[in-house]
């Protein structure tokens, strides 16, 4: 005689199989109106393959910590510097451009944040087509060039182009 838990698990498996068989998945031929159904065997096999792929590499290792450190540095340099623009603004106002108004100097940070935010749409498109590590390296080079160029600026307009536009594009 089967126990209640065995019966319950059999019923659950049967209901899952029925649910899977009832749901159609649209594939590449969807534009032509073609549809295919997942079978229970295909679904279980796909789930097993995904589980094997997920467990191939250890979750904790030197490479994983290097990736986390690289992400930390990348976010610090892109978003952190952008959020700390007030430090730059105070320096520009007090030492570099004391004759310029605060409203004019604040446009540097505004352009920087605007280009970074709007550039997110372009970044998303590029990440789908290119390796993210390459894109991150290119962005870091652009940000570096922007800061080096900004150190040679003699007017607020030049800073708006280098630190505002160019840095925002790299971030």
pLDDT at 121 over 80: yes
- Residues 32-44 have pLDDT tens digits of 455 555 555 554 5
How many Å is the Cα radius of gyration of the chain? Answer: 27
Confidence band, pLDDT 50/70/90 cuts, at residue 81: confident
Confidence band, pLDDT 50/70/90 cuts, at residue 26: very low
From residue 14, how far is each of 20, 46, 61 by CA, in Å? 10, 18, 40
pTM score above 0.85: no
**107: exposed, middle or buried (C-beta count within 10 Å: 0-12, 13-18, 19+)?**
middle
pLDDT at 166 over 50: yes
pLDDT of residue 162: 92
pLDDT at 52 over 90: no
pLDDT at 74 over 70: yes
What secondary structure letter does DSSP report for 171?
-
């Amino acid at each position: 005689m089967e126990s209640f838990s065995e019966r319950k698990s059999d019923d659950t498996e049967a209901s899952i199989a029925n649910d899977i068989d009832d749901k159609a998945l649209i594939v590449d031929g969807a534009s032509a109106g073609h549809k295919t159904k997942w079978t229970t065997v295909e679904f279980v096999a796909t789930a097993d393959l995904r589980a094997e792929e997920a467990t191939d590499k250890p979750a904790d290792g030197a490479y994983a910590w290097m990736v986390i450190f690289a992400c930390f540095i990348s976010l610090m340099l892109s978003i952190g510097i952008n959020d700390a623009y007030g430090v730059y603004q105070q320096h520009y106002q007090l030492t570099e451009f004391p004759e310029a108004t605060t409203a004019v100097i604040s446009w540097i940070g505004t352009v920087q944040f605007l280009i970074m935010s709007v550039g997110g749409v372009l970044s998303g498109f590029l990440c789908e087509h290119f390796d993210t590590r390459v894109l991150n390296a290119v962005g870091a080079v652009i940000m570096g060039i922007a800061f080096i160029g900004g150190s040679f600026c003699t007017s607020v307009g030049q800073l708006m182009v280098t630190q505002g536009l160019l840095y925002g594009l790299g971030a």
